[in-house]
Amino acid sequence: MRKPKLRELREAITALVKGPYTSKFPKIAPTVPEHFRGTPTYVPDECVGCGACGQVCPAGAITIADEYRESEGRMVRRIERNWGNCIFCSQCFVYCITGKGIELDKDFEKSTTDTANFIDTHDKELLFCEHCGSVITAKDHIRWITDKLGELAFGNQTLTVARYQELGLTEDITSRAERPLERSDYMRILCPNCRAAYILSDEWGES
């Protein structure tokens, strides 16, 4: 019984001399450690719309959805981040494929009276299969992969034609063709399913 009392007395004297252990937050913001994981901040110009952050977020704070935009008459990839659901785990920062699409700052005080302030939304333009019309990925994502691969990108017809299109060397001909794939489809932008079907039919004939 005597030991704890002595310890409490020592702590009380230490607190009197050194001041309280607690900080004066929110009056005075505490100094956070160097590697503190604060608020993830989205950097739209460094994001290529791959969707990896949405897949790794354990709290469901990031939603990636390809949706039809009535006002624009086209489909876009909508990336929505609801920082109100964020648990500051930093997985989105760690797994961002460009390494720059999300930055962590030292801020942790996110109180607000309007939860809409927590939500930020951005759109990314999409690339479609020229045969079946399905979504392949965001155009920025394809551009990023092509840049990363350099000359190796010429080994992939979809990447090559997408780059040609960007340079204005070929037309955008998304056709949603009802016909079977044929030889001329080799040098077209195809989704993985149509590319596999093309290779199979080219090698083995129509099944």
Contact residues toward ligand SF4 (CB under 6 A) are 40, 47-53, 56-57, 59, 61-62, 79, 86-92, 96-98, 101-102
Phi, psi (degrees; rounded to nearest 5) at 169: -90, -15
Q: 137 or 158: whose CB is closer to ligand SF4?
A: 137
Q: 56 or 177: whose CB is closer to ligand SF4?
A: 56
Q: 98 or 170: whose CB is closer to ligand SF4?
A: 98
Contact between 166 and 160 (Cβ < 8 Å): no
CB of 50 to ligand SF4, least distance (A): 4
How far apart are alpha carbons 198 and 202 in whole angstroms? 6
Q: Which residue has the CB atom at the shortest distance from ligand SF4?
A: 101
CB of 190 to ligand SF4, least distance (A): 23
CB of 142 to ligand SF4, least distance (A): 13
CB of 159 to ligand SF4, least distance (A): 17
Contact between 108 and 38 (Cβ < 8 Å): yes
Q: 58 or 168: whose CB is closer to ligand SF4?
A: 58
How far apart are alpha carbons 197 and 178 in whole angstroms? 14
**H or E segment and range at residue 157:** helix 157-166
Structure-block tokens of residue 52: 């990896």
Structure-block tokens of residue 179: 């016909």
Structure-block tokens of residue 72: 């624009």
Contact between 49 and 138 (Cβ < 8 Å): yes
CB of 85 to ligand SF4, least distance (A): 7
Q: 49 or 194: whose CB is closer to ligand SF4?
A: 49
